[in-house]
Amino acid sequence: MESSVRIDWPRAGCRAKVSVSSYSATVGCLLVGLGLWCPVPARHRKMVQVDKSYNEREVILAVGDVVEISLAENPSTGFRWELKDKPKPACSLVKSWFESAAGPPGKGGTRRWQFQAVHSGTGEISLEYRRPWEQGTPPGRTFHLTVQVRKEGQNPKAPSE
């Protein structure tokens, strides 16, 4: 026995009679199609949070993982972090942004970068804290991070390819 539902659209002046079973079948097909179009990832991707204590250190990621670097910055002094070396081809820059600290103007905040591991191998991230108009002088601070990217399922102690 098939039931039906009458749907009225008063503003459009339309009336339609829709079978409940055909409606259910349509919704089911859409959900299955969406599942095939947007497959669930094989594993949960990891986010590694890095701060100034990681300077001159190394992090190990699997392909697909993300490393986020967070460093204090105060652009009101003219000093800003500049990305000097990107970790290509092992990682790609996903985004970079500045978050102001709460409080009065000039208080500073945090500069953040996110890099996603895309290929197995090694990448180097180099950052310099400097005033853009003082390129001939040494930076106020530097930050260097080595990123080792492993294939998924590869032993973390094994050397990268």
- List pLDDT tens digits, range 109-132: 999 999 999 999 999 999 999 999
Query: What tens-digit pLDDT sequence spans the chain (161 residues)?
Result: 555 555 555 555 555 555 555 555 555 554 445 454 544 445 568 999 999 999 999 999 999 999 999 999 999 999 999 999 998 899 999 999 999 988 888 889 999 999 999 999 999 999 999 999 998 899 999 999 999 999 876 655 544 33
Q: The tokens of 84 are what?
A: 């000097």
Domain ranges across the chain: 4-37, 47-150
Is the domain spanning 47-150 CATH 2.60.40.2020? The answer is yes
Rounded to whole angstroms, how far apart are CA atoms 112 and 115?
Answer: 10
C-alpha 88, offset from chain centre: 16
Strand ranges (E), 20-133: 47-50, 57-62, 66-73, 80-85, 91-100, 109-117, 121-130
Residue type, 90: A
Question: What percent of the chain has a predicted confidence (pLDDT) above 70?
Answer: 66
